[in-house]
C-alpha cells in the first residue's frame, strides 16, 4: 500500500472540514435568532438561556484568532485516547475567535515552541495527522502561530 492509498478522515466527524488545498475550517452552529455561536455543535438548540431557539445553522468558524491561553502537556492521555509511542509532549492552546466571541481549544501544531508563545498573538487553524489505524489516518484540528 502506498501513501496515497491511505484514507484521511477527521478523528471526529463533523467537527471540521479539510480541503484538498490543505486549508481547513471548524464547523460550528449559529443561532439565527440571537446570533450565538457554538462549537462543537453538539446540541440542536440554542444554549443561550435567554433564547433557547430550536435549531442551529451550520457555519464555518473563523480560521484565525488570538491566543488567549496555552500550556504544554507532558503526560500521555489515558486510554481510550490515542497517544504516540513513545509519548511526545504537545502544547494546548485556547484561541479567541473575534467574530464568534468564543474560545476554541486545540492542540498546538507540531514543532511549536511553547516557551516562545505570548498571549494575544495571532493564531491560525491547521490540520495535522493524529494517528493511523488499519490504513486510515485520523486527523485533528490544531492551532499554529500566524
Ligand atoms: Zn439563540
Ligand 1 centroid to Cα of residue 70, in Å, is 29
**Total tally of structural domains belonging to the chain:** 1
- How many whole angstroms from 27 Cα to the centroid of ligand 1? 17
Q: Would the pLDDT of 105 be above 90?
A: yes
Tell me what the pLDDT averaged over the chain comes to.
Answer: 91
Task: List pLDDT tens digits, range 85-94.
Answer: 888 889 999 9
Q: Ligand 1 centroid vs 47 CA: distance in angstroms?
A: 7
Q: Which domain holds residue 114?
A: 3-145
What is the mean pLDDT of the segment spanning 88-104? 95
Q: How many CB atoms lie within 10 A of CB 73?
A: 14
- Residue whose entry in the numeric block shows the C-alpha cell 491511505: 6
Q: How far apart are CA 49 and CA 101, in angstroms?
A: 17
pTM, entire model: 0.87
pLDDT value at position 35? 95
Q: Give the Cα separation of 81 and 78 in Å (integer).
A: 6
Task: Give residue 4's pLDDT.
Answer: 54
Predicted pLDDT at 44: 81
CB 24 within 8 A of CB 143: no
Decide if pLDDT at 104 tops 70. Answer: yes
Which of 62-71, 111-120, 126-135 comes out lowest in average pLDDT?
126-135
CA distance 77 to 83: 7
How many angstroms is it from 98 CA to the middle of ligand 1? 18
The Cα–Cα gap between 109 and 145 comes to 8
**What is the rounded CA–CA span in Å between residue 106 and residue 138?**
15
pLDDT grade, residue 5 (50/70/90)? Answer: low
Look at residue 77 and tell me whether its pLDDT is greater than 50: yes
Amino acid at each position: 500500500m502506498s501513501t496515497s492509498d491511505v484514507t484521511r478522515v477527521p478523528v471526529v466527524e463533523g467537527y471540521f472540514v479539510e480541503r484538498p488545498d490543505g486549508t481547513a475550517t471548524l464547523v460550528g452552529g449559529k443561532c439565527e435568532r440571537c446570533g450565538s455561536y457554538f462549537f462543537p455543535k453538539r446540541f440542536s438548540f440554542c444554549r443561550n438561556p435567554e433564547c433557547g431557539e430550536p435549531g442551529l445553522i451550520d457555519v464555518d468558524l473563523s480560521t484565525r484568532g488570538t491566543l488567549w491561553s496555552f500550556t504544554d502537556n507532558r503526560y500521555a492521555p489515558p486510554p481510550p485516547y490515542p497517544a504516540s509511542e513513545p509519548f511526545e509532549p504537545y502544547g494546548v492552546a485556547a484561541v479567541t475567535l473575534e467574530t464568534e466571541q468564543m474560545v476554541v481549544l486545540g492542540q498546538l501544531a507540531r514543532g511549536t515552541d511553547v516557551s516562545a508563545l505570548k498571549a494575544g498573538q495571532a493564531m491560525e487553524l491547521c490540520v495535522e495527522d493524529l494517528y493511523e489505524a488499519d490504513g486510515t489516518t485520523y486527523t485533528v484540528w490544531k492551532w499554529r502561530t500566524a
